[in-house]
Amino acid sequence: MYAHHQSGPKKFGRSSSFRARPRLGGGRFSRSKSNRRSRGEHIDFSRFVKKNVYVEEKPYLSKHTFADFSFNPQLHKNITRAGFIHPRPIQDQAIPTVLKGSDVFGMANTGTGKTAAFLLPLIEKIAKTRGKNMREKVLIMAPTRELALQIEEDFKNLAFGFGMFSVACVGGLPITKQIREIQLGVSFIIGTPGRLRDLINRKVLDLSICHSVVLDEADRMLDMGFRDDMVFIIGKTAKEKQTLFFSATLSPEIRKLTQLYLKDPVFISVISGETLKNIDQDVVRTRSKEEKLNKLHEVLKKDGSDKVLIFREMKHSVDSLAKELSHFGFKVGAIHGDKRSRERIRILDSFKKDKINILIATDVAARGLDIPDVTHVINYDVPQTYDTYVHRIGRTGRSGKKGTALTFVPV
């Protein structure tokens, strides 16, 4: 599906021939259930069946080492402390481009190292400009609180020793604490569109001194109905700025945003269809709810089902399946948009540390999660689009390892 791959950065040409699809609603999760269903495309179930052709991942030959980048000595220490050895493809190509001050459009999936690809050069940029302008800030926008919190955690590790501070502006966590941190002074503002807009409307958050803006997983923010919030927030930032977009797809709407906000951007793609070759894809046909649950039980009992990510479409169905599997004796956790932030963080941490081996989630809650060693992805509900399917199953079969993707379909 994503077969396009480029060996190096190229200038991103502007096309006037495309037609933008209708604008998505600006409200947070504003689509009704019926609207979501109507937006789903008809997918031939045979596309969910493909035996893996296992290929050992060839190591990427970096053009640079981290030592080649003109970073502050403290930043080089933090890179070593973080265990980075060779730059990942997106880091190898994006870091020198961002350091030059160019706008970037990067096509990259979760788990490709893109967070460090923008954090490292932006930390270096702020470290250099702090003496001239102590007030300059970086804005990083992400679609979900989990991704925003993950980015902030990475920032704290990579910015260690610089005296830089950050704030995670996300819903579900106390806004008063976030207001206090903003007022004390921060260099990096990392947040989700809804909470960022709330803070701007309260006249707490001033983005006019943000000369560096990052939109991470921009395509997902559009899918979630955040378009108007994104446009509003970007409009509050400095007129002269460096803008970095990262997205897994290049839809007409994303292309339209790049034309509005990116100046002569460099286009970098590290997406390849090769990783899907390591994933054994199949369907499980069922006639009833009872048969469906029993067949899931059989899959989860098999040897090799060590770390399983199960996707469901609706929040209530996530909870009901979690209860049923717990009744069977499985160690299972569930996350969706109605869960409190602290609970979601705790459950994700348990899954990462193998305290539980089954995680059930909606697409919204699971977006942006980088969880290593997932052996199985199970689509217990058929995804709305094939792009969603590809994104889901890409959570397994990573780093040259084998993975399994199963999609439950009605007979």
**E strand segments, 103-254:** 104-107, 137-141, 166-169, 188-191, 210-215, 242-247
Pick the more confident residue, 145 or 27.
Answer: 145
Mean pLDDT, to the nearest integer, of 71-92? Answer: 94
Picking from 32-36, 267-271, 310-314, which range would have the lowest pLDDT averaged per residue?
A: 32-36
Residue 397 binned pLDDT confidence (cut-offs 50, 70, 90): confident
pLDDT in tens, 189-217: 999 999 999 999 999 999 999 999 999 98
Q: How far is CA 134 from CA 121, 137, 209, 242, in A?
A: 17, 9, 10, 18
Q: Which residues contact 200 (CB under 8 A, 6 or more apart)?
A: 207, 232, 233, 236
Res. 129: pLDDT tops 90: no
Tell me how far apart the alpha carbons of residues 2 and 107 are, in angstroms, rounded to a whole number: 10
How many other β-carbons are positioned within 10 Å of the β-carbon of residue 163? 9
Mean pLDDT along residues 336-348: 85
Task: Judge contact between 377 and 405, C-beta under 8 A.
Answer: yes
The larger pLDDT score, comparing residue 102 to residue 172, is at 102
**Residue 222 — very low, low, confident or very high, per pLDDT cuts 50/70/90?**
confident
What residues pair up with 105 in beta bridges, in sequence order? 245, 267
Mean pLDDT calculated for residue range 129-152: 84
Report the range of poorest mean pLDDT among 227-241, 266-280, 310-324, 338-352. 266-280
Supply the pLDDT for residue 12: 40
CA–CA separation, 191 and 167 (whole Å): 8
pLDDT in the model for residue 196: 98
As a whole number of angstroms, the distance between CA 241 and CA 224 comes to 26
In the chain, the percentage of residues whose pLDDT exceeds 70 is 83
N-term to C-term CA, the chain: 26
Looking at 30-34, 49-53, 202-206, which range is the least confident one? Answer: 30-34
8 or 272, which is more confident: 272
State the pLDDT at residue 233. Answer: 97
Mean pLDDT, residues 218-237 = 91
pLDDT at 75: 97
Tokens of 359: 């995680």
Distance, in Å, from the CA atom of 269 to the CA atom of 272, rounded to the nearest integer, reads: 8
What is the average pLDDT score of the chain?
A: 84
pLDDT value at residue 275: 55
pLDDT greater than 60 at residue 349: yes
Neighbours of 55 (CB within 10 A): 11
pLDDT digits (tens, 9 = 90+) for 296-337: 999 999 989 999 999 999 999 999 999 999 999 999 999 988
Q: Taking the model in full, what pTM does it have?
A: 0.72
Contact by Cβ (8 Å): 170, 341? yes
Query: What φ, ψ does residue 35 adopt, rounded to 5°?
Result: -65, -40
- Which residues, in sequence order, are CB contacts of 277 under 8 Å at separation 6+? 52, 53, 54, 55
| pLDDT score of 34 | 37
**Residue 157 structure tokens:** 């590790």
In the chain the domains, ranked by start, together with CATH numbers, are: 45-54+273-410 (3.40.50.300), 59-269 (3.40.50.300)
pLDDT at 20 over 80: no
Strand partners, 379: 311, 407
Look at residue 311 in the predicted model and tell me its pLDDT.
96
d(CA 350, CA 237): 37
Let me know how long the chain is: 411
- Separation between Cα atoms, residue 387 and residue 247, nearest integer Å: 13
pLDDT computed for residue 400 by the predictor: 67
Residues 6+ apart with CB under 8 A from 325: 296, 297, 300, 332, 358, 360
Residues with Cβ within 8 Å of 155's Cβ and at least 6 positions away in sequence, in order, are 119, 123, 166, 188, 190
